[in-house]
Structure formats: structure tokens, C-alpha cells
Amino acid sequence: MHVEVVTDPGSNSGGPGDTGGDDAGTDAGVRDAFGGDAALLPDARSRRRDRVFALATPEAAVLTTTALAHRTSVEGCGHGTGWYIRRLGAHLLTRFVDRPERPVADCLSDAIAETAALHGGRCDLALHGTPTASVVAVRLTEGRLDHLVLGPGRVLIRRGTTVRAVGDPGGARHAAGARPSAAAGATWGSSSCRGVHTLVLLNGGAVESLPAALWPDTVRLLEEVGAHGLLAHIRSTELRTAAPHRPVGVVHLRPA
């Protein structure tokens, strides 16, 4: 199994009030996601890094991104968006691996509930500004491929010369927050792993910067230059078109 994970927070995604949690660097983010005390809001220098988070193993991959509506304000919660997207992603990946028979939408519902329980009494989860996130995920188990998209994002599946793009028709209207019922809005399904050559998870920032009509070209480019090369292509396109540098997350899997 070939696994590549690249996340980049961008530079023009949030305003002065944008909030986040701890540093979302790969190693520190993974360690913090699975343990340690809840951290309060950091200084402004680290907030920008807390917009996109990814975890991947040979069995599953999860990509979470701070929802657009909550990049510039967080009310009722002292943990921040970075804290939320890391813990949601870690809980979801754990559910995927520990409960391979459980539908992926139910795993997301469980992960939302488990993350909400970590907030504690000092957070008012009823407020609209509680951190939320989009979710893109896949699971491979016993010859089955499960996919899930909640909010902006895509799963690209290449079999032979065919590329299937899976997205959530609800787009930015859907996000994981404090209510487990949000998982019901996800687009999800299962298919055989047979013939799957490449899997790609893209967050909303990546999708916005890539031409939807050319998903086969996106997969071909990724296979040629890797996830870091695709990120460089996205940033180059943004510079050429004067588009904002959005938070970008890319997960690239090639099953054995």
C-alpha cells in the first residue's frame, strides 16, 4: 500500500479572528490527537495552521477541514478549531479500524459524539459558533471499499481508465459539529476493492482549485508527481489566477 498525506493551511483563508487549536504539524498533530489534556486557544501565529488535518493507514484515511462558516469565529468553545478537527479525525479513524463491520456514516456519528463529550462543561455546544468541520474518508477492509464525504470535498476512485468522483451534493451546507445527527447528511457507500488502482481524498480547498471536469487528469498528475507535486500545482494555479490560498488537504492511496 502506497500512502501519501499532504496538508497546507494556505494564507488567505481566515481573518484576524480566525481561531484554532494546537500546531497541526504531522507528528505533533497525531500525538496530540490521541492523548494529552485539552489545550486552550494558542497565539495568532499558530492559528493559521489549524485548518486542515489528515490521518492515513493501510486500512483507512480521514481528512478533516475547518468548515467555512467557523474559520473566523468560535463561540462557546475554548478549544478552537484545530483541537476539534484533530480529535474528530482521530476518533473517526479509530472507529473505522476497530469496527470494520459498522457503516461508515455510523462511525462518523460515533466520532462526533465522542468528540463532543471531550468538550466538558465549560463549552456551550448549543451555540452556533461551536467548531465544525467537513470530512472526507475511506476505509478498505476484506475486499470492500467504503467512502464518505460530508461537506465540500471529493473522493476520487480510479479503476483502469475510469475515474469516479464522489462528493456531497449538500456541499458547504453540511458539516460535522456537536450533533451526531449531522452524519446523516453525509454521502457514503461501499464497493468492491477489485480493480482499484488509485484513491484520492481532496478537501474543499483542493476541489475549488482544480477543474472538476478533468478529474482523470488530476489523478494522472498525482500519480506522476505525487501529493506534494499536486499541492505545488494547486498553489501555482492560485497565483496565476489571483485566487486565495485556501487550506488544502490531499491523501493519495494505492492499494497493493
What gap in Å lies between CA 86 and CA 131, rounded to an integer?
12
Q: Is the pLDDT of residue 12 over 60?
A: no
Domains and CATH numbers, the chain: 2-254 (3.60.40.10)
Q: What percent of the chain has pLDDT over 70?
A: 76
Position 69 confidence tier, pLDDT thresholds 50, 70, 90: low
Q: What is the mean pLDDT of the chain?
A: 83
Q: Is the pLDDT of residue 38 over 50?
A: no
For residues 146-154, average pLDDT = 98
Higher-pLDDT residue of 105 and 211 is 105
Q: Is the pLDDT of residue 6 over 50?
A: yes
User: Which strands form 162-166's sheet, in the order they lie side by side?
Assistant: 2-8, 248-254, 196-203, 153-159, 162-166
Among 196, 177, 175, smallest CA distance to 186 is for 175
- Show the beta-strand stretches assigned E in 115-219: 133-141, 144-150, 153-159, 162-166, 187-192, 196-203
Higher-pLDDT residue of 81 and 197 is 197
Each residue of 116-129: pLDDT tens digit? Answer: 888 766 665 665 66
Ordered DSSP codes for 210-236: S-GGGHHHHHHHHHHHHHHHHHHHHHH
